[in-house]
Amino acid sequence: MANINNKIVYPGVNPFIPFSSEPVVWNKDVPVDYDVKLDDSYNVEQSVGEEGKRKKWLVIHYGAGDNNLAKMIFSDTDELEKVGSDINTHIVSILDVGKQWGVPFKGARIFYLKKDDVSGKINSPVLKNLGQVNTADPAFMASVLKEIIKRFPADNIAIFIGDHGAGWEGAIEDDSSNGKFMKIGEIREALESVAQSLGKKIDVLAFDACLMAMAEVGYELKNAVKYMVASEQLEGGGGYNYTILFSKAMADAIKNLQQANLVKIKVGPEEFAKLIVNAAKEYSRDIETISAVDLEKVSDLANSINLFAETVISKAKESQIYEALSNYQKLTEELKSLKSQKTEVDYDKVIEILKNYNNLMQTLANILGSGSKSDLDLEKQLSQLKEFDAKLNQFLSAYSALSLSSKVQDLFAELNNTDAKKIREKITKTQGFYGSFRDLKHFMQLIAEDNTISLDVREKAKEVIKSLDQYVIAEFHVEKYPNANGVTIELPSYGGVKSDYKDTMFAKDTKWDEMLDKLNKV
């Protein structure tokens, strides 16, 4: 992430043009080095003897740095190079810096990372000079990942994506392509294409990007990825250093993976995902939240969330019924008051007299030859008044019967409990991160612990908590976020969700967005 005058700005074609919903903090004390000279050695392609050799792990760094993170994404690759590939591990970096300043080449390169301790320069072989590319294009992402997987076969695949992130809205920005930002659905399409080509799911996906530890993101990627590592919060409590420190954590995890393999300790995808979280704890000043989740369990989580949402929707409907009954009661009392003030009238007798009067006036007019007009409007009004009076009597009679019903009175009292309003109150008390992204487990805990909320709602909240406990396999957070539990969800405290939210697979397959709409109408 980057920084101008320590103000919150938004990433885009340049630092002064807003683009996505993710704020980026730039540190004015870390100037961009515009004088970095281009190095021709980055234009020389080389082959490596490791190509075609099957290893236990292939770790791919997808460094989408064609934006204000260019120098830091370059440093990511430089940091991973200090670990480098070994006998059991291929490490390959796709590094795109576009036309950015502060880096020693333009465009994108694919590096096969070999151990090198020199900082500030990537000395590993350049497998391919890609030139100017659009890393935010799902077709490019799928194509380049497939190429690397084919050239460097392995039993397990881990992909490490470094760039801007915006939760369910997506990740990966490319300035040279007019600030193209990859939507979460496009990331799904790219990774599903890779998984289909691979014949199995990608084992581990780690996001070195803000806000990606969302239930919606995990659900979107469930058919392409087994385990996902991401952060609930804006990454980098210390500002500038985050992405570099995440790469340090990633490098530490890879080093631990390599050491385990050397002594014949098998490290599977779940264990590697946990290694990344554990390594991140060493950099807690900048990595404030991080979690690993099992995407094989995300469908169960989504199902429990959906059942909760359906139950809440029914409560929101009851709240609307309560409001209607309240209005009905108020109207009835007003009509009863009107009825008590009204003098009883025999409308049939009055109308008969009025008709006789009109006939007499018409006869006199014919005899005397003078014009006379019968008051038919008055007769019509009296007829309407008679009809209204009859309906009023029916209404009051119906209310009288309704008020005598103990079941209706019980329902009225139960609806007065206003579950929906209490649930809305819990939203504002839930651990928040950026915008309307809030911790899912904390929200459910607040509901489950409130005995004034209906039992069926509380039971459904407890089921979501159980599903989350199965879904989250490792989690870390600093004291600043005491109620962080590893997974956020879209949870606005007012208004509805953005229109784009309904395009997510999670919104399509659950009633969560419908529930939010109902709650915000209560």
117-168 pLDDT, tens digit per residue, is: 999 999 999 999 999 999 999 999 999 999 999 999 999 999 999 999 999 9
Instruction: Supply the pLDDT for residue 314.
Output: 84
pLDDT range class, residue 382, cuts 50, 70, 90? low
> Which residues make Cβ contacts (< 8 Å) with residue 403, sequence separation at least 6?
409
| The pLDDT value given to residue 407 | 52
Instruction: Provide the CA 371 distance to its chain's centre, in angstroms.
Output: 79
pLDDT for 437 beyond 80: yes
Show me where the domains of the chain are located.
37-227, 304-318+417-471+492-519, 328-415
Q: What is the pLDDT of residue 404?
A: 43
pLDDT at 247 over 90: no
- Dmax (CA) for the chain in angstroms is 128
CA dist 182 and 457 (Å) reads: 37
Burial class (CB in 10 A: 0-12, 13-18, 19+), 456: middle
Checking if the pLDDT of 77 tops 50, the result is yes
Predicted confidence band at 16 (pLDDT cuts at 50, 70, 90)? very low
Q: Which of 186-200, 396-410, 430-444, 492-506 has the lowest mean pLDDT?
A: 396-410
pLDDT at 266: 85
Give the mean pLDDT of 406-423.
60
- Domain 37-227: top CATH class: alpha beta
Residue 66 has pLDDT above 60, yes or no: yes
Taking the C-alpha atoms of residue 277 and residue 237, their distance in angstroms, rounded to an integer, is: 16
Rounded Cα–Cα distance for residues 36 and 98 (Å) = 15
* Mean pLDDT for the stretch of residues 387-409: 59
Please give the mean pLDDT across all residues of the chain. 82
Split at pLDDT 50, 70, 90, the class of 286 is: confident
Distance CA 127, CA 45 (A): 5
